[in-house]
């Protein structure tokens, strides 16, 4: 008699919502346990935050009304918004940073238009934009605008200015350092190696201290260097070394054949470097360079230690305002949100670039 094969149960579904939940959250048993633990952790962290930030929060501009709510007083952020943006920049001149921002935003918009991208006049405009931004914010010279000393610069504006100046100036310096480090000339090579290793071996704070305390000693006795400028010098010095190592990676990643081919058609050193080597080397290292720029943006927050009022330090400055005394949490969340959005979008951009150039 033939044996009757028992009916088998149908396979556990792996498709659809239920299947997804089963395979991603509940199976095997310890995964279910982990799901419960993780869910509980998320719940217990998010619940008080949501209560504080949304449910019990107020957005009134009146501090006495805001005190009646147990949650966040977002009216504080609304009230102090301009201070967060520009620090103690004089109130009647606040339109000037706004104009500077418009200039940069307009340029970014133009760049986003595919037709204009890579045209000479757009490059020229970008090249001129730092000068324009400086003239608008600082004033003086031939502009007829009242001079606003760097002493009054602060907030998000200062953070962005410090970061962009550091990116702008450390880029050419780091290219030179990287070329120097890979060159055959012993004195130039050893200078570049020494500079890079020295700077990379010490914390940014000591460089900032050096820029703020020691640099003035090196200058002639009658020469005064602006505090913001000193910080800029320090940050630029610091990041050139890190960026140089990135670029060196790109230089090393280039096949020897490229150098030999350039030599074979009789190119000189600078022709070879500018036309053959750098365009290829820099393209390889765009993602690590963007990561480095994120680092610059985050690390500009250290200038608070040598007495500048950047985006992070403004959090303290605003909360010592008698009207909104002690609203430190709100200030931190707001400042953190800014940093996070800026850095996260930069890191997304770097991932996009990586994908774009990976296909080639």
Partner 1 sequence: MSQHAHENARVPFWRNPQIRAWLYQSIMLGGLLWVAFIMYQNTLANLEKRGIGSGFGFLQNEAGFNIGETPPIPVLQGGFLWFIAALIVGLFASRAIAVWLKKKGTAITASDKTVFAVITLVGIIPVLVLFLGSDSIAFTRYTESSSYVTALLTGFANTIKITILGCIFSTILGLIIALGRLSPNWLISKLCSWYVELNRNLPVLLQLFFWYFIVLQQLPSVRQSIDVGGWLILNNRGLFLPAPIAQSGAWPFCLAIGAALIGIYFICRRSMRLLNERGTPGKIVLPSIALLIGLPALVWLIAGTPFTLEYPELKGFNYRGGIDFTPEFTALLVGLTVYVSAFNAEIIRSGIQAVSNGQREAARAIALKERHVMRLVILPQAMRIIVPPMTSEYLAIAKNSSLAVAIGYPDFVSVGGTILNQSGQAVEIVGIWMGVYLSLSLVISLGMNWYNAKIKLVER
CB of 86 to partner 1, least distance (A): 19
Q: What is the DSSP letter of 145?
A: P
Using the minimum distance from each CB to partner 1, give the nearer residue, 148 or 199.
199
**Beta-bridge partner residues of 155:** 310
Using the minimum distance from each CB to partner 1, give the nearer residue, 148 or 289.
289
Q: What is the DSSP letter of 304?
A: G
Using the minimum distance from each CB to partner 1, give the nearer residue, 24 or 271.
24
Using the minimum distance from each CB to partner 1, give the nearer residue, 169 or 332.
332
Q: Are 195 and 241 in contact (CB under 8 A)?
A: yes
In the chain, what are the helix, strand and coil shares in percent, each to the nearest 5?
Answer: 75, 0, 25
CB of 133 to partner 1, least distance (A): 23
CB of 114 to partner 1, least distance (A): 29
Residues with Cβ within 8 Å of 57's Cβ and at least 6 positions away in sequence, in order, are 69, 71, 72, 73, 74
What gap in Å lies between CA 342 and CA 149, rounded to an integer?
A: 27
CB of 185 to partner 1, least distance (A): 5
CB of 28 to partner 1, least distance (A): 10
Using the minimum distance from each CB to partner 1, give the nearer residue, 118 or 186.
186
Using the minimum distance from each CB to partner 1, give the nearer residue, 106 or 219.
219
CA angle 203, 207, 212 (to 5 degrees): 140
Using the minimum distance from each CB to partner 1, give the nearer residue, 98 or 333.
333
User: b/e map of 69-102 (b: 16 or more CB within 10 Å)?
Assistant: bebbbbbbbebbeebbbbbebeeebeebbeebbe
Q: Which chain residues interact with partner 1 by CB under 8 A?
A: 23-25, 31, 34-35, 38-39, 41-42, 184-188, 191, 198, 200-206, 209-210, 213-214, 216-221, 294, 298-299, 301-302, 304-305, 312, 315, 328-329, 332, 335-336, 339-340, 343-344, 347
User: b/e map of 126-163 (b: 16 or more CB within 10 Å)?
Assistant: eeebeebbebbbbbeeeeeeeebebeebbbbbbbbbbb
Using the minimum distance from each CB to partner 1, give the nearer residue, 169 or 191.
191
User: At which residue do the structure tokens 């605008």 appear?
Assistant: 145
CB of 141 to partner 1, least distance (A): 28
- For the chain, state the CA radius of gyration: 27
What distance, in Å, lies between the first and last C-alpha atoms of the chain? 67
Our measurement of the distance from residue 154's CA atom to the centroid of its chain's CA atoms, rounded to an integer in Å, reads 17
CB of 107 to partner 1, least distance (A): 25
CB of 230 to partner 1, least distance (A): 13
């Amino acid at each position: 008699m033939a044996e009757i094969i028992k009916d088998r149960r149908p396979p556990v579904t792996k498709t659809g919502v239920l299947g997804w939940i089963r395979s991603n959250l509940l199976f095997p048993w310890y995964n279910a346990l982990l799901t419960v633990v993780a869910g509980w952790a998320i719940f217990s962290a998010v619940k008080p935050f949501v209560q504080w930030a949304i449910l019990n929060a107020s957005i009134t501009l009146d501090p006495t009304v805001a005190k009646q709510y147990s949650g966040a007083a977002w009216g504080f952020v609304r009230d102090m918004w301009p201070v967060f943006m520009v620090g103690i920049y004089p109130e009647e001149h606040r339109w000037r940073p706004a104009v500077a921002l418009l200039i940069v935003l307009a340029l970014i918009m133009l760049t986003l238009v595919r037709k204009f991208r890579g045209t000479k006049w757009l490059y020229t405009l970008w090249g001129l934009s730092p000068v324009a931004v400086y003239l608008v914010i600082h004033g003086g010279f031939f502009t007829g605008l009242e001079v606003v000393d760097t002493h009054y610069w602060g907030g998000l504006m200062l953070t962005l200015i410090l970061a962009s100046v550091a990116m702008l100036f450390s880029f050419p310096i780091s290219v030179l350092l990287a070329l120097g480090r890979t060159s055959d000339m012993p004195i130039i090579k050893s200078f570049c190696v020494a500079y890079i290793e020295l700077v990379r071996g010490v914390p940014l704070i000591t460089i900032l201290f050096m820029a703020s305390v020691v640099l003035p000693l090196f200058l002639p006795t009658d020469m005064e260097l602006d505090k913001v400028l000193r910080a800029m010098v320090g940050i630029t010095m610091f990041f050139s070394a890190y960026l140089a190592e990135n670029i060196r990676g790109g230089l090393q990643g280039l096949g020897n054949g490229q150098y030999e081919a350039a030599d074979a058609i009789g190119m000189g050193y600078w022709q070879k470097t500018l036309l053959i080597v750098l365009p290829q080397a820099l393209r390889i290292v765009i993602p690590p360079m963007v990561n480095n720029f994120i680092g610059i943006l985050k690390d500009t927050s250290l200038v608070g230690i040598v007495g500048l009022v950047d985006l992070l330090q403004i959090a303290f400055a605003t909360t010592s305002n008698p009207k909104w005394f002690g609203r430190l949490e709100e200030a931190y969340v707001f400042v953190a949100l800014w940093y996070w959005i800026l850095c996260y979008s930069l890191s997304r951009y770097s991932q996009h670039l990586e994908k774009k150039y990976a296909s080639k």
